[in-house]
Amino acid sequence: MHVPDGFLGPQTYLPAYGVAAAAWTFGLRRLRARLDAATLPRLAVVTATAFVLMMITVPLPGGTTVHVAGIGMLAVLFGVWNAFLSLSLVFLLQALMFGDGGVTALPVNALAMGLVGSLAAVGAHRLLRPVNRDAALFAAGWAGTVASATLMAGVLGLQPLLSRAPDGSPLFFPFGWKTTLPAVVLPHLAVGVADGVLALLAGRCLAPRPATAAPPPGPEAP
């Protein structure tokens, strides 16, 4: 879902950096204030897991593939701000080490998937938890993915309105909302199901526990 470099204009990514910088500062201060022996290693390892889960592609009919993002999983396990920091770190590493995503797209990706996606996931989880714990976990994964895809489609569709050449041709991403909303959001309604299953699995087997507990045995390879 995340956008590479070159598709977002400075009218979008410069203000987005301003908002994201404020959010990163707040999140880092919050993390440092609550840092203990369990939090940071767990956050780092689950960040790496989110990174590798994004590499596992799910085949779709027609030859295309999609991948889960783990937004709901991170938000439910670590809360909104830690999930935001964790996903921002994933996007930074993907952009600088592997050329996936990009530095100009980083704040938009981080805000859409890390912050808005996490807020939607935690909101859905809190709303449904009193009714059914499993349904709440699944809804968190689904809502996180769909909310961030909707925001991303909105930002992409804004580009032709913000920057055009004198001849009227688009300077960055060329399609408007009429194209981006169905093209981005509809497939993510299905991807959200995979993310919902992931959040459900993770919520059951990765619930935070004290750092003094013995580590569980390593798993066997699939």
Partner 1 sequence: MRDRALLLLYLGAIVAATFVHDPARLAAALAAVLLASGRRAPRVLARASRAAAPFAAAVSLGWLAASWWEQRPAGAALLRLNLRVLLMTSLTFALAARLDLQRALGFSRTLRFALVLTVSQVLTFRRLHADFRLALLSRSPRRVSTAASLRHGAAAGAWFLRRAEHDAAEIAQALDARGFFLDRR
**Which residue's structure tokens are 């295309």?**
64
Spatial contact of 154 and 12, defined as CB atoms under 8 Å apart: no
Interface stretch with partner 1, choices 108-116, 117-125, 139-147, 170-178 (CB under 8 A)? 170-178
Exposure string of 134-160, with b = 16+ CB inside 10 Å and e = fewer, is: eebbbbbbbbbbbbbbbbbbebbbbbb
Residue among 5, 2, 1 nearest 96 (CA):
5
Interface stretch with partner 1, choices 108-116, 136-144, 147-155, 168-176 (CB under 8 A)? 168-176
Q: Which is nearer to partner 1, 77 or 116 (CB)?
A: 77
Q: Which is nearer to partner 1, 138 or 172 (CB)?
A: 172
Number of residues located near partner 1, criterion CB under 8 A: 74
State the number of CA atoms in the 13 A half-sphere of 12 facing the CB. 30
Task: Give residues 12-41 in contact with partner 1 (rule: CB under 8 A).
Answer: 13, 28, 31-32, 35-38, 40-41
Q: What is the torsional sign of CA 178, 84, 60, 196?
A: negative
Interface stretch with partner 1, choices 113-121, 123-131, 145-153, 207-215 (CB under 8 A)? 207-215
- Choosing from 96, 127, 161, 186, the residue that interacts with partner 1 (CB under 8 A) is 96
Task: Give residues 171-190 in contact with partner 1 (rule: CB under 8 A).
Answer: 171-175, 179
Q: Which is nearer to partner 1, 131 or 165 (CB)?
A: 165
3-state secondary structure of 147: helix
Q: What is the torsional sign of CA 74, 2, 99, 102?
A: negative
Task: Give residues 100-129 in contact with partner 1 (rule: CB under 8 A).
Answer: 100, 102-104
Q: Which is nearer to partner 1, 38 or 123 (CB)?
A: 38
Task: Give residues 36-75 in contact with partner 1 (rule: CB under 8 A).
Answer: 36-38, 40-49, 51-53, 55-59, 68
Per CB under 8 A, 205 contacts partner 1? yes
Helices 117-128 & 80-98 angle (0-180, nearest 10): 150
Per CB under 8 A, 138 contacts partner 1? no
